[in-house]
């Protein structure tokens, strides 16, 4: 798991209240969006990627459509490398979604019936990201809920992956 304090980027976020709704500004899509827990995680991570990791805004795509088996899906964040090839795929979840339990469910951290029964999401975030990545074939896959963050470096040749403790800098 990566130690990542996204809340320290909260002062960099722009927000406003309009028609009784709290809105948050997305610097990539250049518009205000309804503030939902998952959107807050997504925006905090975007600020982190831009300010801390120095990813150029022009290389970040947010909530774009992707067709998988004829069905439309939307990935959260996709970073492109200097050659405009998909480099880092990010799946964001709301903080209340315990993604460590998802790891347990996948038998990565533990193999307990308790962990399986405590997953309270419709879809395992790792399965979801892997499904998107099947088409994209990115070198790095990141899943975060703003509290827990996991990063895998994919090795397609050997059909394996390894967990990393730091998000790579742009290539």
CB 163 within 8 A of CB 156: no
Q: Is residue 1 part of a domain?
A: no
d(CA 27, CA 62): 10
Q: Is residue 98 part of a domain?
A: yes
Q: Is residue 150 part of a domain?
A: yes
Instruction: Return the pLDDT at 129.
Output: 61
d(CA 135, CA 152): 17
Q: Is residue 171 part of a domain?
A: no
Digitized pLDDT (tens) for each residue of the chain, 171 residues in all? 898 999 999 999 999 999 999 999 999 999 999 999 999 999 999 999 999 999 999 999 999 877 767 777 788 999 999 999 999 999 999 999 888 765 543 444 433 333 333 333 345 655 666 666 667 788 998 999 999 999 988 888 887 788 899 999 877
Instruction: Return the pLDDT at 170.
Output: 75
Q: Is residue 40 part of a domain?
A: yes
- Residue appearing with tokens 């948050």: 24
Structure tokens at 36: 């939902």
Determine the structural domain holding residue 54 and report its residue range.
Answer: 6-164
Instruction: Return the pLDDT at 103.
Output: 53
The number of distinct structural domains making up the chain is: 1
CATH, residue 104: 3.90.1570.30
Q: Is residue 125 part of a domain?
A: yes
């Amino acid at each position: 798991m990566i130690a990542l304090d996204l809340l320290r980027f909260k002062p960099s976020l722009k927000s406003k209240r309009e028609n009784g709704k709290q809105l948050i500004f997305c610097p990539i899509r250049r518009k205000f969006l309804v503030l939902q827990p998952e959107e807050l995680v997504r925006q905090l991570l975007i600020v982190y990627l831009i300010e801390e990791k120095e990813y150029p805004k022009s290389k970040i795509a947010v909530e774009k459509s992707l067709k998988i088996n004829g069905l439309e899906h939307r990935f959260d964040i996709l970073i492109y490398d200097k050659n405009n090839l998909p480099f880092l795929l990010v799946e964001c979840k709301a903080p209340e979604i315990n993604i460590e339990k998802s790891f347990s469910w996948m038998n990565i951290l533990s193999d307990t019936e308790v962990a399986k029964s405590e997953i309270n999401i419709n879809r395992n975030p790792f399965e979801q990201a892997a499904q998107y990545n099947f088409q994209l074939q990115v070198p790095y896959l990141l899943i975060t809920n703003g509290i827990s963050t996991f990063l895998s470096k994919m090795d397609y040749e050997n059909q394996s992956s390894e967990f990393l403790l730091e998000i790579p800098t742009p290539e």
